[in-house]
Amino acid sequence: MEQEKLIELDKKHFIHPTSSIQQQQKDGAKMIVEKGDGIYLTDRNDNVYIDAMSSLWNVNVGHGREELAEAAAEQMKKLAFSSTFSTFSHEPAILLAEKISSLAPEGLNAVFFTSGGSESNDTAIKLARHYWRVQDKPERRKIIGINRAYHGVAAASTSATGIPEFWNMAGKMMTDIYHADNPYGIGKDKALSSLRSVIETEGPETVAAFIAEPIQGAGGVLVPPENYLQEVRNLCDEYGILYIADEVITGFGRTGKWFGVENYGVTPDIISFAKGVTSGYIQLGGVIVSDQIHDVLKEKSAGTLFHGYTYSGHPTATAVGLKNIEIMENEGLLENAQKMGEVMLKGFKKLKEELDIVGDVRAVGLLGAVELVEDPATNKRFASDLQVAPKVIEALHQRGVICRAVTYEGTDIICFCPPLIINEQQIETMIERLHDAIKEVR
Ligand code: PLP
């Protein structure tokens, strides 16, 4: 169909997620993507872009993988869908649950499947409450998250998200969710004392769980200060609170390890995952629970667990998940993420030497960010009407790189999350273009 016609239909009939409806009506679709191959996306006018965000932080093995299409087709022909409710089961879901357990940190060996990250975090939060309820502690209901966290847009995940804009649309969906300060900007000690103070104020005996991403993604790729997560783990233990790690972005190789927490030597009680488990080829998410939680559930969760999605453990999605993990293992993509992550960080550091508005730069594996500030010596930010990150993103787009700006709370952060198959030369190209884009808007 003609591009013009598609844009007209898009405006008329398609309400886009996380978008400005008014801007869509005014400008129409900015880009209609036609195909993907490796780290590249191509639009309908044959413009080629580096997908420096792995689309939505998820296309870990890169675009255009025939093996994944074949795994889906094979499974669909054999058994496209069958329920896993009650005691029904099927091979791909069983094998993927087993595989994920083998990759997860020690002591986490049971998986509940969902269709995506929001459902995973809702599930984690509901399971945490259920865990306490079946142990005759129904008063342990409160959830504590941290500011700038993003956990999704379902009921509990919207509430756990620490970016209040997400509560505007329909209110904070759940009560009993509180947020502690983020270590970003204030440091580990103040953030930990804020967390302790929220726990103490709310009453530790009423808190079910703490939830956080090991490295915050949508908040601006915020890497935790040294020992922060270990001390969070200690605090949770001190108060008997469950620790949920939201690994929706950081899981499945993104940081050069299977799970982000492995970089910090902490073991959570529950891990939520999605995105990278299928590299976005099909919708799938889930939570992994500790043996301790699983044992409590086995012993005390009597009757039906009234929680399940039609697509929990979808045969086609789980078959694709298995193949996706096989690709990661066969191609050594975790090692590549580590090595290329170092190359990317080196490139960012060079930019910092060359350009006078580059502030903090960071990367763990292939999850990184470049922060732009008016004065790197003092970290002084640009005035809110002069924020530069969106302009840099636009200049990058013109140069064939798609990435994301975070301007929340006056920050100017350019996020990078390229596919784990990226090579050195492609990283260099990406960084050269970033250099030119920053220079242009400066
Ligand atoms: N958690 C994190 C850390 C995320 O980054 C996201 C999505 O970006 C979610 C949860 C929500 O996942 P989904 O959009 O699949 O519902």
Mean pLDDT of the chain: 97
Q: Report pLDDT for 338.
A: 98
Continuous H helices in 311-410:
315-330, 333-354, 389-398
In the structure, which protein residues have their CB atom closer than 6 angstroms to any atom of ligand 1? 57, 116-118, 121, 150-152, 213, 217-218, 246, 248-249, 274
Distance from the alpha carbon of residue 421 to the mean position of ligand 1, in angstroms: 22
Distance from the alpha carbon of residue 167 to the mean position of ligand 1, in angstroms: 16
Average pLDDT, stretch 49-64? 98
The continuous run of DSSP H or E covering 156 comes out as helix 155-160
Average pLDDT, stretch 6-17? 97
Among the atoms of ligand 1, which is closest to the Cα of residue 274?
15
Is residue 384 scored above 90 in pLDDT?
A: no
Among the atoms of ligand 1, which is closest to the Cα of residue 115?
15
> Percent of the chain scored above 70 by pLDDT?
100
Length of the chain (residues)? 442
Average pLDDT, stretch 221-243? 98
Average pLDDT, stretch 153-164? 97
- Cα(348)–Cα(366) distance, rounded to whole angstroms? 12
Which pLDDT band, with edges at 50, 70 and 90, does 370 fall under?
Answer: very high
Q: Report pLDDT for 260.
A: 98
Q: Report pLDDT for 119.
A: 98
- Cα(263)–Cα(325) distance, rounded to whole angstroms? 20
Among the atoms of ligand 1, which is closest to the Cα of residue 218?
5
Pairing verdict, β 401-402 and 48-51 = parallel
> Percent of the chain scored above 90 by pLDDT?
98
Q: Report pLDDT for 426.
A: 98
What is the Rg, in whole angstroms, of the alpha carbon atoms belonging to the chain?
22
Average pLDDT, stretch 39-65? 98
Tell me the two tokens of residue 170. Answer: 């329909």
Mutate to test the pocket of ligand 1, among 146, 151, 406 (most ligand atoms within 8 A of CB): 151
- Cα(206)–Cα(200) distance, rounded to whole angstroms? 10
Is residue 191 scored above 90 in pLDDT?
A: yes
Strand partners for 125: none
Which pLDDT band, with edges at 50, 70 and 90, does 391 fall under?
Answer: very high
For the chain, how are helix, strand and coil distributed in percent, rounded to 5? Answer: 45, 20, 40
Q: Are 60 and 279 in contact (CB under 8 A)?
A: yes
Q: What is the DSSP string of 14-63?
A: ---SSS-HHHHHHH--S--EEEEEBTEEEETT--EEEETTHHHHT-TT-B
Average pLDDT, stretch 107-115? 98
Mutate to test the pocket of ligand 1, among 114, 249, 311 (most ligand atoms within 8 A of CB): 249
C-alpha distances out from residue 60 to 9, 18, 381, Å: 31, 22, 32
Average pLDDT, stretch 183-210? 98
Distance from the alpha carbon of residue 273 to the mean position of ligand 1, in angstroms: 9
Average pLDDT, stretch 375-398? 94
- Cα(148)–Cα(161) distance, rounded to whole angstroms? 7
Distance from the alpha carbon of residue 153 to the mean position of ligand 1, in angstroms: 8
Q: Report pLDDT for 148.
A: 97
Average pLDDT, stretch 243-257? 98
The continuous run of DSSP H or E covering 115 comes out as none
CA angle 321, 326, 111 (to 5 degrees): 40
Q: Report pLDDT for 153.
A: 98
Q: Report pLDDT for 312.
A: 98
Q: Report pLDDT for 418.
A: 98
- Cα(43)–Cα(57) distance, rounded to whole angstroms? 19
Q: Would the pTM of this model clear 0.95, i.e. be above it?
A: yes
- Cα(78)–Cα(8) distance, rounded to whole angstroms? 39
Among the atoms of ligand 1, which is closest to the Cα of residue 152?
11
Distance from the alpha carbon of residue 245 to the mean position of ligand 1, in angstroms: 12
Tens digits of residue pLDDT in 266-312: 999 999 999 999 999 999 999 999 999 999 999 999 999 999 999 99
Which pLDDT band, with edges at 50, 70 and 90, does 435 fall under?
Answer: very high
Distance from the alpha carbon of residue 380 to the mean position of ligand 1, in angstroms: 30
Q: Number of H helices and number of E strands within the chain?
A: 14, 15
CA angle 185, 188, 191 (to 5 degrees): 80
Q: Report pLDDT for 442.
A: 83
Q: Report pLDDT for 227.
A: 98
- Cα(138)–Cα(56) distance, rounded to whole angstroms? 37
Q: Report pLDDT for 441.
A: 93
Q: Report pLDDT for 385.
A: 85
Tens digits of residue pLDDT in 305-345: 999 999 999 999 999 999 999 999 999 999 999 999 999 99
Q: Kindly report the protein residue whose alpha carbon is nearest to atom 1 of ligand 1.
A: 151
Domains and CATH numbers, the chain: 31-61+332-441 (3.90.1150.10), 67-330 (3.40.640.10)
